[in-house]
Amino acid sequence: MNYEELLAFAGRNPMLSLALVGLTVAIIATEIARLFRGYKSLKPAELTHLINAGNAVVIDLSASGEFEKGHIVGSRNVQLAQLTPAHKLLASAKQSPVVLVCRTGNASATAAKTLKKAGFEQVSVLDGGIPAWQAADLPLVKGRG
């Protein structure tokens, strides 16, 4: 396909061409925003590696009842409203990897932004939350932790 054919196609299909341009712009904007948000998204396997290394602070932002139904081994339950840089789990973790986990990813992203603004250096969220963890066939434990 050459340039003239591409222009002819765009002229014959203006709505399709506009949709393609719109989607392309949306994808580029999303990727640029991801680069500048200040925290990383981890896949379940990457979080497993951090947990096995033993230096990650994993915080589950789920409601207490949801946390008790199933959570990642070693994670601690903290409600989003209680999560502050001065929280006892975070007070000494400014240089440690802090990984935030929730059920949907929304609470984790909000908390990650807060911690980055407070000076935490290694903040990450579990991409896809607990459902992604389960989809990767990784275990959850029940109870208070």
- Between the alpha carbon of residue 38 and those of residues 13, 26, 33, 64, 145, the distances in Å are 40, 20, 10, 28, 29
| Active-site option among 83, 98, 101, 102 | 102
Whether the CB-CB separation of 78 and 91 falls below 8 Å is answered with no
Residue 132 DSSP SS3: helix
The two three-digit tokens of residue 41, written as one number: 């998204």
Rounded Cα distance between 108 and 126, Å, is 8
The two three-digit tokens of residue 83, written as one number: 């999560």
β-strand pairing of 76-77 with 40-42: unpaired
Active site residue 102: yes
Residues with catalytic function: 102
